[in-house]
Amino acid sequence: MAARAVPSSSRGSAPATCADVAIAKLHEGGISVCFANPGTTEMWMVSALEKQRGIRSILGLQEAVCTGACDGYARMARQPALALLHLGPGLGNGLCNLHNARRAGSPVVVMVGDMATWHRAADPPLNQDIEALAGTVSAALRAAPRGKAALLLGGTALLEEGGALSTAGRIAASLGAALLCEPLPGRIERGQGLPHATRLPYFPQEAAAELAQYEVLLLLDVRRPVAGFGYKDGPSHLLKQGDDAIWELDAASSLPEALQLLEAQLPGAAAVRPGVNCRGMFATPHRPALPSGVLTAAALCQAVAALQPAGTILVDESLTSGTAYWEASKGCPPFSHLCLTGGAIGSGPPMATGAAVAAPGRQVINLQADGSAMYTLQALWTQAREQLKVLTIICANNTYAILKVEAMRQRTPGTSSGMTSLSGPAIDWVALATGMGVAAGRTETAEQLAALINQGLEQAGPFLIHAALK
């Protein structure tokens, strides 16, 4: 990820030529998509983008939409996208999803317009230290594990590039080790024929208890796990094993090749095959039955898993409502699962937008919490403008449910339900979607949800479902 301030003009220079050269260099470096929310200081860059063949420019209505779309694009295309933003305040708006992109290891290039060099000293209203703002977001394997062991996967270990994920699954099956993954992976390939990893619990006490039962841990392209927040009497660092019991291998070590070398040292690992002798490590084909009756969060997850097509890109910012989806979907046809990595909410709609741009032949489903959807709902407009095949399912429980869970766990006295409720007035998601050019429908039953999912999957462009949960 890189961010650089680009002056819009300076006396005695030729800014149009500089802009043309900058955009041409970015294209030569592999940039083919730009998600833009430009302003006055970026007009030269807009002109250069319009002249540059090979770079697709996509307009976003808010900077967090642009940076989140870059993140989603990068996770799927495995190539960087460009975000063009307006001055320091624009970069400030986009920082939340740049934070998520950094946590996901996504390659993102950010171009931010700056004041003319000769005008900065006047300290105009939008002047800001862009470099300082941008700076806020920018091992060797020594032995095979012995004893009760677990492989903890993250980053590139969760992908099938070079067969890394499948190789890790075969190693775990051969050793009789557990296969774990970080609780919110940036991207993981899932479904039938692929290893099914157990996600570490979100809350630190449960995660620490899970990790404590293993004598030896092999960490594959993942940092040592820590608590997301500091809880009273809770742990910060979740691993209690000594350094001699923790083996680490990161992406810089050419992970697929390193795993293949390790597999070659384990008799029988290469012979592990799905459905034969995989010790249940690889998911077998299975679809849950379509639910009926009251539309609960669990029924919603079950319906999505029952109907999602092969090759789906599932963008998951469902937070509390989507907890049942991980197990319900493990036997679905192969798909990609993208999660909220850094905890900065509002990533789902823009990430789905970027993923659809990166993989136009695949269906994108955005499983989306209602509270966080309001942060970046402007992404729907871009989806309609570009006619992107994104099905957004709003898990509408009319509350910031995660805050209620946190208040209960922390025994916070006097917590007001008024600060966690999204009712009064209730949000009309169908009206919001249609107002931005996206067809939509509302459901209160599991049967209606299934019908709307099928309707959305048949659309050539975006579709939104207001799923009123009980």
For every residue of the chain, which 3-state class applies, written as one string?
A: CEEEEEECCCCCCCHHHHHHHHHHHHHHCCCCEEEECCCHHHHHHHHHHHHCCCCEEEECCCHHHHHHHHHHHHHHHCCCEEEEECHHHHHHHHHHHHHHHHHHCCCEEEEEEECCCCCHHHCCCCCCCHHHHHCCCCCCCCCCCCCCEEEEECHHHHCCHHHHHHHHHHHHHHHCCEEEECCCCCCEEECCCCECCEECCCCHHHHHHHHHCCCEEEEECCCCCECCCCCCCCCCECCCCCHHHEEEECHHHCHHHHHHHHHHCCCCHHHCCCCCCCCCCECCCCCCCCCCCECCHHHHHHHHHHHCCCCCEEEEECHHHHCCHHHHCCCCCCEEEEECCCCCCCCHHHHHHHHHHHCCCCCEEEEEEHHHHCCCCCHHHHHHHHCCCEEEEEEECCECHHHHHHHHHHCCCCCCHHHCECCCCCCCHHHHHHHCCCEEEEECEHHHHHHHHHHHHHCCCCEEEEEECC
Specify whether 264 is located in the same domain as 321. Answer: no
**In this structure, is residue 277 part of a structural domain?**
no
**In this structure, is residue 222 part of a structural domain?**
yes
Specify whether 311 is located in the same domain as 458. Answer: yes
Specify whether 71 is located in the same domain as 175. Answer: no
CB burial of residue 386 (10 Å; 0-12, 13-18, 19+)? middle
Specify whether 75 is located in the same domain as 155. Answer: no
Measured CA to CA in angstroms, residue 390 lies from 86, 153, 435 at distances of 27, 28, 17
**In this structure, is residue 209 part of a structural domain?**
yes
Specify whether 307 is located in the same domain as 454. Answer: yes
Query: Tokens for 350?
Result: 């823009």
Domain extent for 169: 149-271
Which residue type is seen at 382? T
Specify whether 325 is located in the same domain as 402. Answer: yes
**In this structure, is residue 221 part of a structural domain?**
yes
Specify whether 353 is located in the same domain as 460. Answer: yes
Closest CA to 338 of 152, 82, 68, 137: 68
Residue 407 has a CB neighbour count (10 Å cut-off) of 17
Specify whether 459 is located in the same domain as 334. Answer: yes
Residue partners of 121: CB distance under 8 A and separation at least 6: none
Q: pLDDT digit string (tens) for 169-226?
A: 999 998 889 999 999 999 999 999 999 999 999 888 999 999 999 999 999 999 999 9
Query: Tokens for 74?
Result: 């990068």
By the 8 A CB rule, do 304 and 329 touch?
Answer: yes
Say how many CA atoms lie within 13 Å of 228 toward its Cβ. Answer: 17
CATH, residue 410: 3.40.50.970
Which residue among 99, 134, 169 closes a domain?
A: 134
Specify whether 226 is located in the same domain as 354. Answer: no
Q: What is the per-residue pLDDT for 74? A: 94
Specify whether 14 is located in the same domain as 52. Answer: yes
Q: What is the number of domains present in the chain?
A: 3
Which residue among 271, 305, 335 closes a domain?
A: 271
In angstroms, the first-to-last Cα distance of the chain is 41
**In this structure, is residue 371 part of a structural domain?**
yes
Residue appearing with tokens 């041409």: 24
Specify whether 333 is located in the same domain as 435. Answer: yes
By the 8 A CB rule, do 314 and 390 touch?
Answer: no
pLDDT, tens digit only, all 470 positions of the chain: 444 444 444 444 444 558 888 898 889 989 999 999 988 778 878 888 888 989 999 999 999 999 999 999 999 999 999 999 988 888 889 989 999 998 898 989 898 888 776 676 777 777 777 777 667 766 433 334 446 999 999 999 999 999 999 999 999 998 889 999 999 999 999 999 999 999 999 888 999 999 999 999 999 999 999 998 887 777 899 999 999 899 998 876 689 998 988 888 876 666 666 655 566 689 999 999 999 999 999 999 999 999 999 999 999 999 889 999 999 999 999 999 999 998 899 999 999 999 999 999 999 999 999 999 999 999 999 999 999 999 999 999 987 767 767 666 666 665 556 667 777 788 999 999 999 999 999 999 999 999 999 999 999 999 999 999 99
Specify whether 318 is located in the same domain as 457. Answer: yes
Measured CA to CA in angstroms, residue 417 lies from 16, 394, 405 at distances of 54, 21, 12
**In this structure, is residue 101 part of a structural domain?**
yes
**In this structure, is residue 190 part of a structural domain?**
yes
CATH, residue 217: 3.40.50
